[in-house]
Structure 1
Amino acid sequence: MAGKQMPHTMMSNHESETMLGIGNIARKVFGTPNDRKVKATRPLVEKINVLEPEFQALDDAGLKAKTDEFRKRIAGGESLDQILPEAFANCREGARRALGLRAFDVQLMGGIFLHQGNISEMKTGEGKTLVATFPAYLNALTGKGVHVVTVNDYLARRDAEWMSNVFGMLGMTTGVVYPRQPEEEKKQAYACDITYATNNELGFDYLRDNMKSELNQMYQRDHNYAIVDEVDSILIDEARTPLIISGPSQDRSELYVSIDALIPELTEAHFTLDEKTRNVTYTDDGNEFLEEQLHARGLLAEGQTLYDPESTTVVHHVNQGLRAHKLFQKDKDYIVRDDEVVLIDEFTGRMMSGRRLSDGLHQAIEAKEGAKIQPENVTLASVTFQNYFRLYNKLSGMTGTATTEADEFAEIYSLGVVEVPTNRPIARIDEDDKVYRTAREKYEAIVEEIKEAHAKGTPALVGTTSIEKSEMLSALLTKAGLKHNVLNARQHEQEAQIVGDAGKLGAITIATNMAGRGTDIKLGGNVELKVLDAIAANPDTHPDEIRKQIEDGHAAEEQAVKDAGGLFVLATERHESRRIDNQLRGRSGRQGDPGKSSFFLSLEDDLMRIFGSERLDKVLSSLGMKEGEAIVHPWVNKSLERAQAKVEGRNFDIRKQLLKFDDVMNDQRKVVFSQRREIMEAEDLGEIAQDMRHQVIDDLVTQFVPPKTYADQWDMQGLYAAALEQLGIDLPLIGWAEEEGVDAEVIAERLEEATDKQMAEKAEAFGPDTMRQIEKQVLLQAIDGKWREHLLTLEHLRSVVGFRGYAQRDPLNEYKTESFQLFESMLESLRTDVTQKLGQIRPMTHEEQTALVEQMRAQQAEARRVAEAATAAPAGAAVAGAEAAGPAVAATEPLLAGFDETKPETWGNPGRNDPCPCGSGNKFKHCHGRLF
């Protein structure tokens, strides 16, 4: 309306303060949402506490009997929530007897939140490992199994060994899954009530299971309930890269080496580097320079440009070469050990042996470092952690730091985050950040601060962000005459010992990221490690006597460290993620211990340099700060946290976008994997094979005998050739066209009758059971082959679909549409493939069987000869002989007892991909299981 001013939408400072004041009053009256959740568990905790005397009165057999009683009640219809107080009380008593640990009320709370499908945020040292036993025990009562997920194999084994005492006391079985585990042992581990495993091994076993050809070869059963330890590390940090099972492709070592020699000749004018997005691209000048150099080195054909379709492979490799040189740093992103490039986990500082970068990037780094170049791989199966863990009917997790990522947990996994109160109030002092102008000033101040702490006897844990910086700081401390330990990927094997000593009086420990290490730093040192060391040094003294001496002395040492101020955590940089900073800070002040944390920063740090240090630099300059002075103010902390929150938000958006693309593939993956399982479970696949065959016939008739056409327009010659090739049947099709009353429908019916009769004759020749097995294996092999090809096609589609955005088309929608079309095409070609293979299959003739038997005998004789030669050689030569013999030595597995190659009933029941029981070393399907 004219003359009437519209209301202003921006709040004034006064209004904003009023709103904040109202919010604070409301929180005081009603409590925060987190407070209300914690309060809601108190009645349950009280019930558990009231039941405690009743369960203490039971003998050991009584605790196990309670487990049987709970199982029967659940089978009778009672819910887990109804049984929770009694089950938790039983588990608490079992833990008290097995470990000497009585769970605190806050630990019971943490267990309740886990059972409800939440993330329990519990500070370091609050006993998360014990907390997990309560919901694990309760949910395992259903008989469907529980998976407890850890970040590394050491923790999986340690926690399984430790907590199996509790579960054993309650009459439950515990298993642990680890890499390269014997097959039977792994099957037994998954069949246990509670199974401990790493996220990687669970994901890989899921993929392996869906590549198996028989149900009895599969490891995992129901995805019932998972408890994820260090849940932020697993479901967020590691979720950026998918798990991939791959096989080798062609060797391109020479191409990598040739391109690597070219990259150092580039100047800064030839590329642009964006450290915020970790992206590097060639400029126009760079492209021109590349073309000249590639032509000169014979890597690009004369007259061919980088923009030609034929140049795709070369362009891909020069891009990866540039990324290897400019984005990946030795001793930060990877190390070179034993002529192998080993990646380093940026969040834990650990080596990730066996993990490789995809798309030829790992090979480009190997060429850069002069290491042996491993062949590129092709994807056989893949899954993201997001989509793997969303398979579980119920998911929960534990960590010390999840609140900063609560939105992502809620949106991606539908997980709520609940802060569980600490058992004792936190006494740690968190100082404001100290910001210096230069890295040199910062490190000088750090050394002085460590000196002061050491003089008081205060143990110091110094956090760094890379191996290179940890070793540089180590050199400075050595120069200053300060004795210290360094924990990074190079000292991975000594981790337990270094962490065990980090809380001793006056100890100095430099460590790369402490996130997800799963090991507490105890003031005065780790008692158990001290006892083990003392027993090893004094074998003649009784272990109980040694333990008493150590425990008596430890109490005095612990008190001396507390008097010195507890553990001092000194961080040398801020990480991109606030969680990682909080995890480092949380190493101090466990269980109410005293402690202190402080962050030392400089304007030359990566985070400060990349995310807007210019403004801060001007402020510091205007303050006229002297050499070695630092700015310390809460505003600086807030400013840095805002910068970190922006980075976290950007990383979340990247992960969310990647997940949207993977969800498209995941829908297809579920269809393929469920179809595979149905095929493996089916007793008779004859009807499925027949439906496929009839559909192929309909398609062929439609193609060569088009609807509403005359006989002289039919391509009967083409139909004859196609029927011979795809159906394996020879019929006088050309003459049919001349018969009166014959149309497309009649032709299709005759072809169906002829192929059905042909397959019935084959079933009689093979025997019904063998024919069913043949159909099953042909179907599974065809599905696997087509799925692998489809994955490769989707990878290529994913790499080019991003360019559709330039044409104002949504890349995600384009990907969905085209991937669906490709999936339909894959299913059509699958029908043709299966029909063709079944049409061509035939029993072996007597002559072929005789020739195969002779071939097997010759292979067995050669295998025995090699084995005997290796056994007879001197000890030093046996290894060399075994290496030289290669697969031949591996082929000396003993023959199945009673094996007779002329009687299949003596062969046992090997899987198609299992070693042949004749001992040849070949797979069964390539040996005595050969069908044609």
Structure 2
Amino acid sequence: MFRVLNKVFDNNARDVQRLVKTVVEPVNALEEETMRVEDLAAAFMDLRRQVQEEGRSLDDVLVPAFALIREAGRRSIGKRHYDVQLLGGAALHQGRIAEMRTGEGKTLVATLALALNALEGRGCHLVTTNDYLARVGAEENGLLYRTLGLTVGLASRDMQPHEKQAAYACDITYVTNSELGFDYLRDNMAQSKEALAMRAEHPLNFAIVDEVDSILIDEARTPLIISGAAEKATDQYYVYAKLIRRLQKGEPAEPGVRTEPTGDYVIEEKNKQVHLTEGGISKIERLLSIPDLYSPENMDKAHMITQAIRARELYHREKDYIVNAEGEVVIVDEFTGRSMPGRRYGEGLHQAIEAKEGVKIENENQTLATITYQNFFRLYNKFAGMTGTAKTEEKEFLDIYGSDVLVIPTNKPILRVDAEDLIYRTRLGKYNAVVQEVAEMHATGRPVLIGTASIDTSEQLSGLLEQAGIPHSVLNAKFEAQEASIVAQAGRSGTVTIATNMAGRGTDIKLGGDAEFIVGEALEQHFGVSRFSPEAEAFIKAVSRQDPRAHELGLQIPGVTPEFIAQSLQLQADTDADHERVRQLGGLHIVGTERHESRRIDNQLRGRAGRQGDPGSSRFYVSFEDDLMRLFANDRVVAMMDRLGMDDSQPIEAKMVTGAIEKAQARVEDRNFSTRKQLLEFDNVMSKQRDEIYAQRREVLLGPDEAIEETTEGMIADFVDMQLATFLPIDQSHDAWDVDGLRSAMLDAAPQLEGFDFEALRGMSPADAQNTLLGAVADAFDARKEELSPAMMNGLSRYVLLQTVDQHWKEHLHGMDVLRQGIGLRGYGQRDPFTEYKFESTNMFNEMVDNLKADVTKFIFRMEFGQAG
């Protein structure tokens, strides 16, 4: 009965069928006709004319556009979009999250929605997790786009400003998520229109986010921040790193056991928090010879000590970060296993880790601009995403982004066999079992991919495999340069690969290896020819098909020899033979060495096997010493193992235990969702303020001269009104008005009012007093304009507005950081921290705006044009 109900209420299947009828079947019906079109670019540009000049919607031209895009793919890069890829492209165009299994060709799917939306001429962005994927995507699909008459660009962090402007001006731009976000923030700090990287009009039109769960969920806990050096001593971190070695870690209070915590501090691993005990506070006060650690003048000390303990107890080398050859502490992304150079922990934690490691401490930074990924991508007119694992997070995508998930069927049935987890008492028992299974698989010739959750684990397993005499490759944050080649060849028979997480790797694991990748790499290294050039692509495709024309096509590439061509053809033949051998052996075998706190990461690892109908298998090994099990799993299972007298070599293989693990993962996912939601709620408060400031700033940067003058005069008028409200309040008698105070305030801002009779205002009504003073200020402004010339006045106004807004916004962000750090303490006073934060931040923002207007007035009337530059 439940199966019947599921079919009735399965919206996903219904949506897929609807797209089959409205998109796939009509596109297929046009295929033969489209194959006869001689000039694809002319036909596609005609669709652009219909959209831009005749007002046809993108939905109106979707079917002929998809037919042309499919044909362009077939002609230019030798890839014809499958029917399921047409489904994915339609879902992306609708602004949905398309879940497509690993190996289903998401890179090619994106070309459909990107090229279609490029018809509007407002620019489209393909957002990836790293520079390699962005470059490969732009180069690999560039031929397809250019066949349609579209332009394609790549925006990377090592580009000059004019190069980046050209990239964003293209119809389609490939860029990483971090670079895109930082370009947006930098554009909102630009001092001239020429300094903008992104388009002045419609900078955020349409985006497709690749590995959308990695970017919009995993990375969403860390906001994007542009920082500048703050004036704060850093040598104290070394002092506190030594001091905390004299403190003792204790155990938290346990109901029924002890009412007070022990030791000098206790840690809360689940939330990565540290709490000093009363004894610990007293010891620190004695060691530092201070009377009160939590007095206002010692708050910095308390904060730095807490961060020093967090660095020592909760952040571990080779897991959370690495120390590179230059002695820099580099964060390791817990979800992808990649290093993140340039990213730093906030609130002094990074400095505390540097002190712990004894390396040079970089100066603390002050926030100059910040935004969360959630609020950034919500700025787009439309955005979509694609990934292999999104359905488990559909609620979050709906709640925060308003996007649902459409699961796209696979092109071929999935043949992978997923075995039940094996659970061991200890890590050592688990690792020994992993090595034993890898040895058995390796002896048969099956390729094995071992997934680990940390660099430390990958290196420990590597050592055990070396002892067992099993050759293998290691892929983690220390060896990212070899990432693509290691992953591309992980499917060859007898290959054993250890990888720290597999999220967003972007390179398929093909059974038997990837001859095309090796040939392309050889062309670049030995002959200096891009593998994505038309000549190289034609040669590589001919080799992959064992086409006799491969010799002729290869010799058209400068420097290529007949020997190289013969070697390439033999390599492909060997790869084809090995592919069949590995298929017969059962395909790629996945070994997970522990469950990740997110089910999606586990599914991404599993999804590396069984691509495009290939056979494969997977199994996870778990121990009760793993972080997930230790913190969240059920203690009764451990007690049961003790009662049964089970040792390290005896695993449990039971659905009950696997179910307990998945429940633990669901609890962690819920907790992480709450963390991200809270971050978003706090950022939403700032988001409204940021939108207001950025909109004003953009108007000043890009607006005409008349708008600049109007904005300046408006701010000056508001300043005058503030002074009148302060010194001549309408609810007081004229005798009580502080005319002298008004005179001092106004002359401080505008010395040109020296001859104005302020005392005459006392005999006027409030409305007349306001009109009179505003008229005098307007006259002074006109005189100032006459003195400087209108052109100079406009230049001065634009300069003053941008500089003043930036300075006050920077100070406001610093104040918001301080407020955010301490607002949690309001909870002890029975007040809701979030409500308090909204109230105080609003007051701070209003005060900032008032001060901004005062400074603009002063600068306009007092600054010499020569000083303004």
Report if aligned partners of 1:711, 1:737 keep a CA contact under 8 Å in 2: no
In structure 2, distance between residues paired with 1:279 and 1:709:
53
Matched, 1:931 2:868: yes
Partner residue in 1 for 2:418: 430
1:265: Cα distance to partner?
A: 1.3
- Cα deviations across residues 663-698 of structure 1 (Å, max 9, x unaligned)? 111011111111112222132233332232233233
Give the direction of change, closer, same or farther, for the CA distance of 1:543–1:704 in structure 2 (3 Å limit).
same
Give the one of 40, 45, 56 matched to 1:63.
Answer: 40
Structure 2 gap ranges (5+)? 250-262, 528-559
Structure 1 gap ranges (5+)? 1-21, 845-929
Deviates more, 1:210-219 or 1:94-103: 210-219
Matched, 1:827 2:849: yes
Partner residue in 1 for 2:716: 693
Partner letter of residue 43 of structure 2? K
Matched, 1:622 2:599: no
Partner residue in 2 for 1:718: 741
Partner letter of residue 392 of structure 1? Y
Partner letter of residue 643 of structure 1? A
**Identity score, percent:** 47
1:537: Cα distance to partner?
A: 7.8
Tell me the TM-score normalised to structure 1 length. Answer: 0.85
Matched positions, count: 815
Give the direction of change, closer, same or farther, for the CA distance of 1:453–1:738 in structure 2 (3 Å limit).
closer
**DSSP 3-state at the match of 1:132:** helix
Partner residue in 1 for 2:163: 185
Matched, 1:41 2:19: yes
Report if aligned partners of 1:176, 1:189 keep a CA contact under 8 Å in 2: yes
Larger Rg: 1
**DSSP 3-state at the match of 2:182:** helix
Matched, 1:245 2:239: no
Deviates more, 1:187-196 or 1:436-445: 436-445
1:660: Cα distance to partner?
A: 0.8
**DSSP 3-state at the match of 1:148:** strand
**DSSP 3-state at the match of 1:524:** coil
Give the one of 828, 836, 856 matched to 2:858.
Answer: 836
Partner letter of residue 500 of structure 1? A
1:550: Cα distance to partner?
A: 1.9
Report 1:301-380 matches (<5 A): 304-337=291-324, 338-380=326-368
Matched, 1:398 2:386: yes
Give the one of 587, 591, 594 matched to 1:566.
Answer: 587
Partner letter of residue 404 of structure 2? G
Give the one of 718, 723, 728 matched to 2:751.
Answer: 728
**DSSP 3-state at the match of 1:189:** helix
Partner letter of residue 289 of structure 1? K
In structure 1, distance between residues paired with 2:19 and 2:407:
13
Deviates more, 1:748-757 or 1:30-39: 748-757
Give the direction of change, closer, same or farther, for the CA distance of 1:548–1:448 in structure 2 (3 Å limit).
same
Matched, 1:439 2:427: yes
In structure 2, distance between residues paired with 1:530 and 1:215:
44
Deviates more, 1:459-468 or 1:528-537: 528-537
In structure 1, distance between residues paired with 2:18 and 2:733:
79
In structure 2, distance between residues paired with 1:641 and 1:274:
22
In structure 1, distance between residues paired with 2:480 and 2:648:
38
- Cα deviations across residues 644-663 of structure 1 (Å, max 9, x unaligned)? 01110111011111111111
**DSSP 3-state at the match of 1:729:** helix
Deviates more, 1:534-543 or 1:672-681: 534-543
Partner residue in 2 for 1:810: 832
In structure 2, distance between residues paired with 1:599 and 1:709:
77
Partner residue in 1 for 2:503: 515
**DSSP 3-state at the match of 1:737:** helix
Report 1:410-489 matches (<5 A): 410-489=398-477
Give the direction of change, closer, same or farther, for the CA distance of 1:542–1:235 in structure 2 (3 Å limit).
same
1:738: Cα distance to partner?
A: 7.8
Report if aligned partners of 1:231, 1:397 keep a CA contact under 8 Å in 2: yes
Give the direction of change, closer, same or farther, for the CA distance of 1:500–1:699 in structure 2 (3 Å limit).
closer
Partner residue in 1 for 2:484: 496
Report 1:494-893 matches (<5 A): 494-532=482-520, 540-541=561-562, 543-680=564-701, 681-684=703-706, 685-707=708-730, 713-729=736-752, 731=754, 737=759, 741=763, 748-749=770-771, 751-843=773-865
In structure 1, distance between residues paired with 2:393 and 2:489:
32
1:742: Cα distance to partner?
A: 6.0
- Cα deviations across residues 311-361 of structure 1 (Å, max 9, x unaligned)? 111111111111111110001000111111111001111110000111111
In structure 1, distance between residues paired with 2:810 and 2:521:
52
1:757: Cα distance to partner?
A: 3.0
In structure 1, distance between residues paired with 2:522 and 2:147:
30
1:751: Cα distance to partner?
A: 4.1
Partner letter of residue 86 of structure 2? L
Give the direction of change, closer, same or farther, for the CA distance of 1:585–1:759 in structure 2 (3 Å limit).
same
- Cα deviations across residues 449-493 of structure 1 (Å, max 9, x unaligned)? 111001000111111111111111111111111111111111111
In structure 1, distance between residues paired with 2:591 and 2:246:
41
In structure 2, distance between residues paired with 1:568 and 1:706:
79
Deviates more, 1:717-726 or 1:775-784: 717-726
Tell me the TM-score normalised to structure 2 length. Answer: 0.91
1:736: Cα distance to partner?
A: 5.3
Partner residue in 1 for 2:235: 254
- The structure with higher relative contact order (CA 8 Å, sep 6+) is 2
In structure 2, distance between residues paired with 1:474 and 1:589:
25
Partner letter of residue 576 of structure 1? E
Give the direction of change, closer, same or farther, for the CA distance of 1:843–1:93 in structure 2 (3 Å limit).
closer
1:543: Cα distance to partner?
A: 4.5
In structure 2, distance between residues paired with 1:542 and 1:67:
42
Superposed CA RMSD? 2.0
In structure 2, distance between residues paired with 1:731 and 1:452:
94
In structure 2, distance between residues paired with 1:161 and 1:186:
16
Report if aligned partners of 1:432, 1:634 keep a CA contact under 8 Å in 2: yes
Deviates more, 1:384-393 or 1:531-540: 531-540
1:545: Cα distance to partner?
A: 3.3
Give the direction of change, closer, same or farther, for the CA distance of 1:708–1:131 in structure 2 (3 Å limit).
closer
Deviates more, 1:351-360 or 1:249-258: 249-258
Report 1:28-427 matches (<5 A): 28=7, 30=8, 32-43=10-21, 44-59=23-38, 62-75=39-52, 76-221=54-199, 222=202, 223-268=204-249, 269-295=263-289, 300=290, 304-337=291-324, 338-427=326-415
Partner letter of residue 833 of structure 2? P
In structure 1, distance between residues paired with 2:820 and 2:720:
34
1:426: Cα distance to partner?
A: 0.8
Give the direction of change, closer, same or farther, for the CA distance of 1:743–1:732 in structure 2 (3 Å limit).
farther
1:40: Cα distance to partner?
A: 1.1
In structure 1, distance between residues paired with 2:230 and 2:273:
27
In structure 2, distance between residues paired with 1:675 and 1:283:
49
Partner residue in 2 for 1:872: none
- Cα deviations across residues 392-426 of structure 1 (Å, max 9, x unaligned)? 11111110111111110111111111111111111
In structure 2, distance between residues paired with 1:742 and 1:71:
64
**DSSP 3-state at the match of 1:515:** coil
Partner letter of residue 278 of structure 1? K
